[in-house]
Amino acid sequence: MIIEFELNGRTVSREIEPGATLLTVLRDSAQFSVKLGCETGDCGACTVLLDGQPVNSCVVPAGRIQGQMITTLEGLLDDPLMLKLQRALVDCGAVQCGYCSPGMLISLFAHFTHESENLDEDSLRHALTGNLCRCTGM
Structural domain of 90: 2-127
Question: Would you say how long the chain is, in residues?
Answer: 138
| Average pLDDT, integer, range 118-125 | 85
For residue 134, the model assigns a pLDDT of: 78
Residue 25 pLDDT class (50, 70, 90 cuts): very high
Residue 32, domain CATH: 3.10.20.30
- Of the candidates 19, 21, 20, 15, the residue with the CA atom closest to the CA atom of residue 1: 15
Query: What are residue 5's DSSP bridge partners?
Result: 12
* pLDDT tens readout for residues 31-88: 999 999 889 999 999 999 999 999 999 999 999 999 999 999 999 999 999 999 999 9
* pLDDT tens readout for residues 98-119: 889 999 999 999 999 987 677 8
Give the number of domains in the chain. 1
Q: Is residue 135 part of a domain?
A: no
E strand segments, 18-131 = 47-50, 53-56, 69-71
Q: Tell me the chain's radius of gyration from C-alpha atoms.
A: 15
pTM (2 decimals)? Answer: 0.92
Q: Is residue 84 part of a domain?
A: yes
